[in-house]
Chain A
Amino acid sequence: MTNWETIIGLEIHAQLSTESKIFCGCSTHFGDEPNANTCPVCLGLPGALPVLNRRVIELGARAALALGLQINNRSIFARKNYFYPDLPKGYQISQFDQPFSANGELEIMTAERDDAGHPLEWRPKKITITRLHLEEDAGKNVHEGLPDIDRYSYIDLNRAGTPLAEIVTEPDFRTSWEAYDYVNHVRRALQWVGASEADMEKGNLRCEANVSVRRRGAEKFGTKVELKNLNSVRFMHRAIEFEVERQIGVLEAGGHLQQETRLWDERAAETRVMRSKEEAHDYRYFPEPDLPPLEVSDEFIANVRDGMPELPEARRKRFMEVYGLSFPDASQLTSERSLADYYEKTAAASGDPRAASNWIRTELLRELDAAGLTAQDSNVSPEALGTLVQLINDDKISGKQGKEVLHEMFKSGKTANAVVEERGLVQLSDTGEIDRIIDEVIVSNPSQLEQYRAGKEALFGFFVGQVIKASKGKANPKIVNERLKAKLSS
């Protein structure tokens, strides 16, 4: 416990997964030739006008509902005015005092981590999300790999007009791990409902953090610094840690902090001033006269809600309550929607939800990871995995055999029964047959029998091994144990 308290607020920009841009019909496809996906509207040509893509409203609504926000029946687009070469109109169409959605309360699970990065104790935390609004992305300036780059900059406007949801929280985070867990929560939620790919590496989820510190017990917030260029959740975490240290250092040395924007430099592992408060823009927001107010009916909202899958947190809780899973296991199974779907189908098919959980989390995920696949692309269907679990539960095959079978199923796409049959793996549970093998083993090992009966009980294991071996590994170990005990003591 230090004398300082950290205060963090977050802004996330998530690209909504539409086929076309927010105000024109151009493709949002990533990686095309520079400026291939442009038209008079997203080039900001004189006379061109924006028209709202309806799909943006639906995905925006999904995102808002997934994060517990209230969708406003009426919201207003506004112009945010500033000059930059990647901003073709000289303003960004965004939302300001009447956003698409507001007043969200979100419960996340968070934990501090030990030095090795392992979570200590998971606990719930409520975060207030101030707003989620809709806006367009800018293009990008290109400074490398083109002719005369020492004299010219180039602009690629393919990304200009890509739809974004900006998600802003209150300054509710008190540690960098809380911020870390929140961003992961939001990422998963947006992916879960199909609103965004939310992949930070691809740049379709971007994050900015407002960081300040204050003496423990103080009521007033300290001077806040805005951190940018946080290109992954890890970077964000490191940047906040650095910034908190820096701010405390300045204050403890008797210095003053400046309200400013700082960039995280991952290579140098430090934050650096990008612009001071004096250089801050006056964006001169005003209502966008080219777009009528966005009206969203209660019926529309209800329809979107009805069309949404059960949210990850609710599903995790249900997995714990209904299937008796632990928090880490249920969390792992709800880390992705396709995995949770997969689990639930397997649990039903196997009739043993906990065994299904174990098989998926250990064996299946190992196979999937090795093949670089996700659950929905799995070569082994949930039904097939369920059958395998059943075979093991019914003592048809042993757990050890099961792993072998799963590996083969994954490789060949065959069913569990087919693999078991092909390999002659069926577990021997016929007590008559097992008795016969036991009798043979006893007869063939008279001296061991004598020693056992003389009290050397450790030899029991020897007999079990001999029986299993004589059955070519097929004998059900449980039955062998039972029968052998009876025979040896008779």
Chain B
Amino acid sequence: MADNGKTISELASGIKSGEITARAVVESSVAAAEKLNETLNAFLEIDRDGATKRAATIDSTSPLAGIPIAIKDNICVQGMQTSCGSRILGDYHPPYNATVIDRLLSAGAVVIGKTNCDEFAMGSSNENSAFGAVKNPWDTSRVPGGSSGGSAAAVAAGIVPVALGSDTGGSVRQPASLCGVVGLKPTYGRNSRYGLVAFASSLDQVGIFARTTEDVARVLEIIAGRDLHDATTADVPVPDYASQLSGDIKGARLGFPKALFGEGLDAEVRASVEAAVNVYRDLGAEIVEVELPHAQYSIAVYYIIATAEASSNLARFDGVRYGFRAEDAPELRQMYRKTREEGFGPEVKRRIMLGTYVLSAGYYDAYYRKAQQVRSLLKQDFQKAFERCDAIITPTSPTPAFLLGEKVDDPLAMYLNDVYTVTANLAGIPGLSVPCGLSAGRLPIGFQLLGGYWSEPTLFKLAHAYETAQPFTERPPVHAD
């Protein structure tokens, strides 16, 4: 089982040279997933048979040949369930693959299972899953972050080298930070959303977890690019991200939004991220102060736009065609009401109600339209900032992983976890979370790099330079053998 915890590059060269087989790699990954799931609850489905069968037929020359991968359970994989962490989808099995899955499979990757998440990706702690919370491998009394907590935990625990999640307001970057792995939310339109069950369509992007920036880059270059099934993907060339990582970053301008390092930020997180800023300074980067005057409104704007879109996106879960349908509801309206009442969890209902409200006649202008206006101003803030710098550094999350149950009764406190991450979704820009050490209580801390549209190569290069200077080699107590 020595293969667990290795990177894609290590596994790929081993498989190519014949030192290890794809089958052995996948089997050890599946075994680790099964074993650790009792502790972590990271997987909702583990496909032992499918994965081992597929591993036996892999062409070892493919770029991701035999690489085991875990997929958040809101991305459609044919032959497996897609529950979105919700009762309402029941044991729904989609009849098609998401475009990102098709691309991964063509590249030789092997999907070993579907990972747990907050219901419909709504949450920052994974406690909103209908199938129980995921535990943080660093401390199982703590949350892994959310909503893609299962994917983050699976990578952090060495079960898979890479996993996909979705990021609508930080749902990849925040759990990456809390679990001590790298997490990317790409530019909006970089990855296809076809087959990603929509939460908030104008904010959702498929994101990537891995232990190194290099592995994130390797996966992005496989899944990114225009998709004829998704009209919001952009026709922008996909570079060989992984080949452009190295090189010095002397003269790179790193934006430092001082205002975001103030109130509400945990002292250890601040110290750790400021230390990272100093590492960049030492590497020759120029630190530039930048301002994002409208960032203070981003949580409000985010929770209006995201819930508005969600209220519409989740209308299709009505018990008519698939998934759960309530019993004893002989009349149509009754069937709708009971199905949705019993099928959705409280946070999803809260957001559907909020979203329905802000779109209602008489309230649309005051909430939805106003939020869109502020969203435009926020985009302009970033445009202006990126005239002065190549990337912006912030904390990813205001605190390290909190205790399970700590914030469940305080939705507002929970929403504030996203304060550093939602801006990237609102502006459509890429964001990358990079581990930068442990707290005194041995909980991971991460910083976030934000860049302009299509600036993933810049973010990767900066992150890779940091990783080289300050390798993060710690492993969590819960880890595959």
Interface residues of A, Cβ cutoff 8 Å to B: 40, 43-52, 79, 81, 83, 85, 88-91, 155, 282, 284-286, 289-292
Contact = CB atoms under 8 A, between A and B. Distances in A.
Contacts of B228: 51
A284 B193 contact: no
Contacts of A284: 311-312, 356, 359-361, 364
Interface stretch (B91-99, B152-160, B251-259, B404-412): B91-99
Contacts of B360: 282, 284
B332 to A, nearest CB: 7
B303 interface: no
A134 to B, nearest CB: 14
A286 B359 contact: yes
B315 A90 contact: yes
A47 B196 contact: yes
A46 B364 contact: no
Contact of B332 (A48, A85, A88, A290): A85
Contact of B89 (A44, A46, A155): A46
B277 interface: no
Nearest to B96: A40
B368 interface: yes
B193 A49 contact: yes
A290 B94 contact: no
Scoring B76, B89, B231, B317 by chain A CB atoms within 10 A of each residue's CB, the highest score goes to B231
What is the predominant secondary structure among interface residues of chain B facing chain A?
A: loop
Contacts of A51: 228-231
Contacts of A155: 320-321
Nearest to A85: B320
A142 to B, nearest CB: 13
7 contacts: A48-B195, A81-B359, A88-B320, A90-B316, A284-B361, A286-B364, A289-B202
A152 to B, nearest CB: 11
Contacts of A83: 315, 318, 336
Contacts of A40: 94-96
B433 interface: no
A136 to B, nearest CB: 14
A47 B315 contact: no
Contacts, number: 103
B198 interface: yes
A43 B201 CA distance: 18
A27 to B, nearest CB: 18
Given A46-B84, A286-B359, A89 B315 contact: yes
A81 B98 contact: no
Interface in B294-317: 308-309, 311-312, 314-317
A45 B98 CA distance: 12
Interface in B53-112: 74-76, 82, 84, 89, 92, 94-96, 98
B76 A47 contact: yes
A289 B315 contact: no
B197 A46 contact: yes
A79 B360 CA distance: 13
Nearest to A290: B201
Q: Give me the 6 closest cross-chain CB pairs, A-B, nearest first.
A: A90-B315, A289-B201, A289-B202, A284-B359, A46-B197, A47-B195
B230 A49 contact: yes
B236 to A, nearest CB: 14
Contacts of A290: 198, 201, 230-232
B447 interface: no
A46 B82 contact: yes
B232 A46 contact: no
Contacts of A50: 231
B322 interface: yes
Nearest to B189: A292
Contacts of A46: 76, 82, 84, 89, 92, 94, 197-198, 316-317, 322
B368 A44 contact: no
Contacts of B229: 49, 51
Contacts of A282: 360-361
B194 interface: yes
Contacts of A285: 359
A291 B231 contact: yes
A56 to B, nearest CB: 13
A182 B195 CA distance: 45
Contacts of A291: 231-232
